[in-house]
Amino acid sequence: MTDQIESASSSARPEDRIEEALDRIAYALHHAHEPAAPESVDWQPLAANIEALRLRVRDLIDRLDNEEEA
């Protein structure tokens, strides 16, 4: 857990911290233990939505950075 905190604090850009958090979520979902009664869950749409959200956030932050520079 300490490594995650150090990694998050060492990333200066907010979008990098968001991307790292989403990567940790994706890893946890991918490596989750199977429940006693497996559910029929389609993970692909969830992963696609997380990726789309990540890209939208990154684009928004880039656009805001460009406005600050102008």
Q: What is the pLDDT of residues 18-32, one digit of tens each?
A: 889 888 888 888 887
Residue 6 has pLDDT above 60, yes or no: no
Radius of gyration of the chain (CA): 16
Please give the share of the chain, as a percent, with pLDDT higher than 90. Answer: 24
How far apart are alpha carbons 56 and 69 in whole angstroms?
A: 20
pTM, full prediction: 0.45
Angle, helix 2-10 to helix 14-30, in steps of 10 degrees? 150
